[in-house]
Structure 1
Amino acid sequence: MLTKKQYKFLKKVSKSEMQCDDLQENGDKIYLYLLKREFIETYLVCPDNDIYQKNAKLYCRASESGNVELLLCRQERYHFWIPTILSIIAIIASFLAVFTQNGELWQWLKGLLL
């Protein structure tokens, strides 16, 4: 499972390829972690007539395993929030059912809400 910052970075890279020269030089932890786990891949882009690759730019893009990890993170998020929301709705509905059955409790609940 990725952290929120890792997820955002991987999502940004998956939408469009980005230049990673400064990330490589600064030793960005998120970039290096995703590169080590092979969620992103890097490649060099050389300008025309640059035989020795002196002015090559380093770019990165999401790999296939990175795209799969993004899908797994989204799926895991849904698998957590949907049951949680349904459980909260069920608890509220059961409390309302109990309070409406008893007249005194219903009056007490009205007094709390008003």
Structure 2
Amino acid sequence: MKYVAQGLQPFSLVEQEPFKVFVTDLLLNAKMMTRVTLRSMIDDASKEMKAVTEAMRGVDHIATTTDCWSVRRRSFISVTALLTDPDSLQRCSAALACKQLRGSHTFDVLASAP
């Protein structure tokens, strides 16, 4: 899904034979999705992000935090929004971004993370 959405690829890509061969060469037991399934997944992700955006519109103050960690020799960085729902006074959080880092958690690597 990310490859198609972020790369601005057509939904039909997942049904093209060369793409299927490419994916199954990488993962022998990979299950291929149809473009209908892909479109549904992208629509659901979009609705979820719009719901988070709408929830944030009604809040006067939003705090953000960044974290980085390593798992199985891979490093990641994330950004999270923290807010209080003005109606229920419940604390809420939403993951805004998460990306794999290349290299160690050094200042240079963290500072250049997009």
TM bin, normalised by shorter chain, reads under 0.3
Relative to its length, the structure with more helix (as a share) is: 1
Whose Rg is larger? Answer: 1
Q: Give the TM-score normalised by structure 1.
A: 0.28
Between Structure 1 and Structure 2, which shows a larger proportion of strand residues? 2
Task: Give the TM-score, by structure 2 length.
Answer: 0.28
Higher relative contact order (CA 8 A, sep 6+): 1
